[in-house]
Structure 1
Amino acid sequence: MKTWLITGCSSGLGRQLAEAVAARGDQLVATARSTDSLLPLCERYPETVRSISLDVTRAGDASKAVALAEHAFGGMDVLVNNAGFGFIGAIEEGEPSEYRPMFEVNVFGLIETIRAALPALRKRPGARIVNLSSGAGIAGSAGFGFYNATKFAVEGLSEALAQELGPLGLKVIVLEPGPFRTEFLGRSMAAAAREIDAYAETVQARRRYRETNDGRQAGDPAKAVAVILEAVDATNPPLHLPIGPRAHATAERKLEAFRADIAAWRDKSIATDFDALN
């Protein structure tokens, strides 16, 4: 039996994962900014589920959630950083008041939650930290630049964290889901108020995608959750885990383009050391 702490359990993959964790008999501290939506889950599993309000941008909330896990269940084995939201808009269109809150949640909130949880996790050999990135954390795309930036930050942080924690017996998993049929394109996606005509052929297509695909995404969240559970349970889980055909296609295109750039400029770009002294 594992003890989990999951952020952002009010909806989406976070809610689906929380339901699956509870259903299989694990212990869970489910969190959301408002715990009202979590009451039915707690009532169904009164012995193994606790809920607490956690706004990842509010100082002290993460520490309180970790303390609850330790008090109620004697520790914790898995931290899932799921809380986050997206933003559509060209780099020129976005205003600081629009995109900075996303960095506070997706990056700095994730960091502070990890920092609060690490003392408890380090007591449990084999503990896991699962960070929600996205296909948008693999490759940038027009209209999602600010969101890409937050998820690229999660990727880099997770890779460094994996090296720090590996010798301690802890594993880090970066989830990179493609489009799944959750509320993400709806309640979890903001957009720049300003629209600039120059970006009509690139960024505005992203806005239309949101409007026409919310609730119609091809990905089945239940199947994604099954993959996540299997990865967490694995003795040697992957550091990077793209989920869904779209995410895998994005990764393959990125790798091919990266290799092509490296190969095309290799001779010139590596000939940059000081000349050897005779």
Structure 2
Amino acid sequence: MKTWLITGCSTGLGRQLAQAVAGRGDRLVATARNAETLRELCESYPDTVRAVSLDVTRPGDAAAAVALAESAFGGLDVLVNNAGFGFIGAIEETEPSEYRPVFEANVFGLIETTRAALPALRRRRGACVVNLSSGAGIAGAAGSGFYNATKFAVEGLSEALAQELRPLGLNVIIVEPGPFRTEFLGRSLAVAAREIPAYEETSGRRRQYRQTNDGRQAGDPAKAVAVMLQAIDAERPPLHFPIGPVAHRIAETKLEAFRADIDAWRALSIATDFDAPSRRAAS
């Protein structure tokens, strides 16, 4: 039986994961900015689920949630950093007041929640940090640059964290979902207020995608959660874990393009070291 702390449990994959974790009998500290949204979950599992308000951008909230896990259940085995939101807008279209909050939630909130949980996690060998990235954390796309940037940050941070925690017997998993039928394209997605006509064929298409695909995504959230649980429970969990055919296609396309650039420019781009001293100069 594991003890979990999951952020962003009010909707989407966070909600699905919280229900699955509770349903299989694990202990759970479920969090949301408004803990009242988790009342039904707590009432269904009064012995094993606790709910607490956690805004990842508010100092002290994460530490209080970790303290609850330790006081109520004696420790912490799995942290899932799920809270965050998406954003659409071309780089030029977007104001700092629009894009900075995305970084505060998706990057700095994740960092502070992780830092608060690590002392408790280090006391449980085999504990795990699960960071929700996205297919957007694998490859950039027009109209999603700021969201891409936050998820790229999550990827780099997680890779470094994995190297720091592996010798301590802890695991890190970067979950990289494609499109799933959650509220992500609805209430969990912000859009730049300004539209510049020059970007109609790039970021404009991303705006249109949001309007035409909300609630029609092919991915089943319940199936996503099921495979996440298998990865988290695995003896040797993956570091990178793309979920769904779209995420796999993004990853494969990125790898192919990256390899093509490396191969095409290898001879020129590696010839950058100082010239080796000649034998005559050495003698």
TM-score normalised by structure 2 residue count: 0.98
2: CA distance between counterparts of 1:22 and 1:89?
A: 37
2:221 counterpart of 1:221 = yes
Q: SS of the counterpart of 1:242?
A: strand
Deviation digits for residues 122-171 of structure 1 (CA, Å, limit 9, x no counterpart): 00000000000000000000000000000000000000000000000000
2: CA distance between counterparts of 1:145 and 1:62?
A: 28
- List aligned pairs for 1:46-65, cutoff 5 A: 46-65=46-65
Return the offset for 1:36: 1.1
2:243 counterpart of 1:239 = no
- List aligned pairs for 1:139-154, cutoff 5 A: 139-154=139-154
- List aligned pairs for 1:1-278, cutoff 5 A: 1-278=1-278
Structure of higher CA gyration radius:
2
Q: Which amino acid aligns with 1:105?
A: A
1: CA distance between counterparts of 2:35 and 2:199?
A: 40
2: CA distance between counterparts of 1:222 and 1:205?
A: 29
Aligned-pair Cα RMSD in Å:
0.3
Deviation digits for residues 36-64 of structure 1 (CA, Å, limit 9, x no counterpart): 11000000000000000000000000000
1: CA distance between counterparts of 2:203 and 2:65?
A: 39
The runs of at least 4 consecutive aligned structure 1 residues that moved more than 2 Å come to none
Q: Which amino acid aligns with 1:50?
A: R
Q: SS of the counterpart of 2:180?
A: coil
Deviation digits for residues 151-192 of structure 1 (CA, Å, limit 9, x no counterpart): 000000000000000000000000000000000000000000
Return the offset for 1:23: 0.2
1: CA distance between counterparts of 2:96 and 2:105?
A: 14
Aligned residues: 278
TM-score normalised by structure 1 residue count: 1.00
Q: SS of the counterpart of 1:50?
A: strand
Return the offset for 1:253: 0.2
- Identity fraction in percent: 79
Which structure 2 residue ranges, 5 or more long, are not aligned?
279-283
Q: Which amino acid aligns with 2:144?
A: F
2: CA distance between counterparts of 1:209 and 1:271?
A: 43
1: CA distance between counterparts of 2:222 and 2:228?
A: 10
1: CA distance between counterparts of 2:46 and 2:203?
A: 47
Q: SS of the counterpart of 2:195?
A: coil
Q: Which amino acid aligns with 2:228?
A: I
Which structure 1 residue ranges, 5 or more long, are not aligned?
none
